[in-house]
Chains A and B, each alone.
Chain A
Amino acid sequence: MMENLPGNFPFVAAVLLMGVALYILIFRRNLIKIVMGIAILSSSVNLFLVTLGYRAGGVAPIYTEAPEGPMVLPVVQALTLTNIVIAVATSALILSLVIRIYRHTGTLDSEKSRRMKG
């Protein structure tokens, strides 16, 4: 891996983002920060998927007015688009739940707003 670190850097960046997101999800208590953690996790997986498809010197995988040269893989781009759509739906749902929890309990701190323990 070290011999091609400039070429492999997007993978390293994706894993670092995943680490940041997991740190936020485990150690942060503010509900909005948890939502941001899920968004960052989703972005890291998207970055990982798009980087998987890259071929050196490749162009976008669209035949309309395409320049010469090899094309990058299109399947992973479809996977990434689907994941973005799913992330939009998840974010909408989770933000509306956060608003409801705030209305009911008056706080956004997950330690103070939780009512079910044990």
Chain B
Amino acid sequence: MATLIEHSSILIIAIPLLAAFLTPLIGMASKKARNVLVMASLAFVALLVFALARDVILNGIHVYTLGAASPGLTTPGGGVAPVRIILEVDAISIFMGITVALVSLVAAIYSLSAMKGETGQNRFYTLLLLMVGGIFGMVFTGDLFNLFVFLEITSISGAALIAFRTRSADSQEGGFKYIVVSAVASLMVLFAIGLLYAQYNSLNIGALAAAMQYTMLDKIALVILISAFAMKLGGVPMHMWLSDTYSVAPVSITVLLITASQASMYALTRTCFTLYGVTLDSAAVGWIIIAIGILSMFIGVTMAVRQTDITRLIAYNCVCESGFMLVGLGVGLAVLANPEALAAYGITAISGAIFHMINHALFEGLLFLAAGAIFYRIGTRDLNQMGGLGHTMKFTAILFLLGALASSGIPPFNGFASKILIYQSVYQFNPILTIIGILVSIITLAVFMKAFFAAFTGASLPQYKGTKEAPKTMIAAMTILAVIIIFFGLFPGLILDGIVRPAADALVDQSPYINAIMGAIP
């Protein structure tokens, strides 16, 4: 068991990839065996993630050197710099890992019934497992170029999955926009990695952080990295691909795409907090991230008001919620150089933003899955054509309402817990930001009430008379998310002290991260 945990960081990445390569061969033989393989590998990976989480939070950072004589041997032979690709799992990485594990399991359960009649399911599950392996690789790696490679794996498999239903022209266009934006963002990330390598002769994040001197070229690299990761996560003004893409993909893939955007946000925080740390001009960079966040909140909710397509509405809500996370992280970054302010409200802001990351994945996932269940039954996403579905689709209506209330920050759901943390801490930094946040939440509630009343209440329309409830596996997947949402909302203290606070502590202090890699060097 101890050796399993020691190797678990690479097993969590390698098992989905191995299952992805096995899926075409086994799928040619039997469909049931392929479905069992997919579910079993994702369930096993989720167990490993929880075991590793317990170990990381109790015992500190896990380091794994690929190909060395022992996993912790980062600098062999008494050298001065780390060699080989090193995976480094600290509290924020394993927090993202928990999010991905939960979401991917739910997405796979939902896909079992949502993809039932389609052809080419072998390719679908292969690409899904590749994408999950890519997201895990992005959050567990301690090497910048490895981050780039896994970012590309995630983007390419994601774009192929968005365009999976080839009969629909919209999904081809959504996939095209996604791959163009991702390719440009990734190439800019590679350019910045080249700049950093040229100066410090290392690709390892810990070694770069130890050697960082914030020269002019480092400033250029920081700007390029922040812009590229903001482009990938859908921050305004690079948000336009998000609604086109999330609305036309199969909804289980949309749920995974949200997690991929969260992984890009993780990469952004890793760059600002750990790679640059206290060397950067934290007030200026913090305010830039706050500005991107405020714009995302405002433009996200404004565009959501005028949507008539239910999934585009939820997608613009995603933009708005990303804005909340960026504001929390920006406030934490802005006071990074100021120890009293950091202890007073900076850590709370970062904790709120991190807690909101997992809450965002959960309630947006629930909203998209419910919208997908509606689309599965009646074949349209247009709110003007829906009406009175709540009479027959009772569970779907309740789950959609739950997701909508959680997203607007209504107690006792999880959105309230994370948003109140962000409001409290940001108020002490600058009161206007909190007021904008509260107004945006109120408008979000109004938008979702409009959507709920348009779709589910009212008289039953004659063309939907025979619609049944959504299939059992879809309801099961949505119920898992709903139970977790209610649990996080009723007992936020458990989650905050257990996994969120260690993650926030790991972000504000880069020394444990650097010492885990370079510790042997005097």
Contacts and interface: CB of A to CB of B under 8 A. Distances in A.
B169 A118 contact: no
A52 B184 contact: no
B51 to A, nearest CB: 32
Contact of A94 (B176, B186, B198, B244): B176
Nearest to A102: B172
Given A79-B145, A86-B149, A89-B156, A97 B172 contact: yes
Contacts, number: 86
B169 A97 contact: no
A101 B169 contact: yes
A76 B194 contact: yes
Interface in B138-192: 145, 149, 152, 156, 159-160, 163, 166, 169-170, 172-176, 179-180, 183-184, 186-187, 190-191
Nearest to B248: A116
Contact of A38 (B156, B163, B173, B180): B180
Contact of A25 (B145, B184, B193, B198): B184
A41 interface: yes
Contact of B159 (A42, A82, A93, A118): A93
Interface residues of B, number: 35
B190 A83 contact: yes
A79 B166 contact: no
A49 B190 contact: yes
Contacts of A115: 169-170, 173
Contacts of B176: 31, 94, 97-98, 101
B197 interface: yes
Question: B interface, by DSSP: helix, strand, loop or mixed?
Answer: helix
B306 interface: yes
Contacts of A8: none
14 contacts: A38-B187, A45-B191, A49-B190, A52-B198, A79-B194, A90-B156, A97-B175, A100-B166, A101-B173, A105-B169, A115-B173, A116-B243, A116-B247, A118-B306
Interface of A: 18, 25, 31, 34, 38, 41-42, 45, 48-49, 52, 75-76, 79, 82-83, 86, 89-90, 93-94, 97-98, 100-101, 104-105, 113-116, 118
Interface of B: 145, 149, 152, 156, 159-160, 163, 166, 169-170, 172-176, 179-180, 183-184, 186-187, 190-191, 193-194, 197-198, 203, 243-244, 247-248, 303, 306-307
